[in-house]
Structure 1
Amino acid sequence: MNQDEQDIRQLIESWLSATQAGDVTAVLSLMAEDAMFLSAGQQPMVGRDAFARGLSKVLSEHVIESTSEIAEIEVSGDLAYCRTKLTITITSKHGNLPMLRSGDTLSILRKGADGRWVLTRDANMLASAA
């Protein structure tokens, strides 16, 4: 496994850990300013600010725990894609039953001039796994 693949794997682990910890700032540091998120049946979420608003709202009422099984990473120069099987448990802070979502994701990453990989595009096919 080369250094780029190791760095991308670490980015994914950092994302999951920061989300579970409720650290929105840390999550935002892992994405490009113009990041775009695609989900079935919804308009694209464009930009760090939009993502921050959405994540902050969810985390104000819930805790998110995730696992990601990396199926594929392909690096070509300063661009890479990563395909994963993602499972998310969203637990209410108010005692409601947890929601379980699971599915495949496809993420595009870009390596900056500083050598850091950031997420630039993400598409997920998560569905209720109940």
Structure 2
Amino acid sequence: MSDDEQAIRELVETWMGATKAGDAETVLGLMSDDVVFMVPGAEPFGKEAFAAALKGMGMMTIEGRSDIHELAVLGDIAYLRNQIEMTATAPDGKATRRSGWTLTILRKGPDGRWRLSRDANLLTTQSGAP
């Protein structure tokens, strides 16, 4: 595995860990300023809207698992195909489970760090959530 592939895998692990810890600052630092997210049923949105959504989650806790199925580095651009499962639990104990695939494009910045640049998130809500 190349250093770049390892760095991208570490970025995904850091994202998942920071999300679980409620560390919005770390999550936001893992994406480019011009990031674009695409999710079903909504217009594409950027970093500012993502940050607002994180803030709106309040005291919700998130547990998740990521399984990278494909990762390719093409110079300073990379993509990954990732299967994600996550459960968001509200303070009252009500949980929502979502799972599905993402297709993510990353760019390597002038500082040598990889950042998420584009993300097509196809997660859907699953029935039978805990």
Question: Which residue of structure 2 aligns with residue 127 of structure 1?
Answer: 124
Identify unmatched segments of 5+ residues in structure 1. none
| Match of residue 65 from structure 1 | 63
The reply to whether residue 41 of structure 1 matches residue 41 of structure 2 is yes
* Equivalent residues of 1:105, 1:122 under 8 A apart: yes
Show structure 1 runs of 4+ deviating over 3 A.
none
- How much identity, in percent, do the aligned residues show? 47
The match for 1:31 is: 31
1:108 aligns with 2:105: yes
TM-score scaled by length of structure 1: 0.94
Root mean square deviation of aligned Cα: 0.8
Query: Aligned letter for 2:36?
Result: M
CA distance in 2, matches of 1:121, 1:15: 15
2: CA distance, partners of 1:56 / 1:66: 18
Q: Is the counterpart of residue 54 in structure 1 residue 19 in structure 2?
A: no
Following the alignment from structure 1 to structure 2, what is the Cα–Cα distance between the partners of residues 44 and 66? 23
For residues 17-58 of structure 1, give each alpha carbon's deviation from its aligned partner in whole angstroms, at most 9, with x where no partner exists.
001100100001100001110001111112x22211111112
Q: Is the 8 A contact 1:31 1:118 kept in 2?
A: yes
Aligned to 1:87: 85
Number of residue pairs the alignment of both structures matches: 127
Which of residues 71, 75, 90 in structure 2 aligns to 1:77?
75
> Partner letter of residue 103 of structure 2?
L
Cα distance in 1 for partners of 2:65, 2:43 equals: 25
State the SS of the aligned residue for 1:11: helix
TM-score normalised to the size of structure 2?
0.94
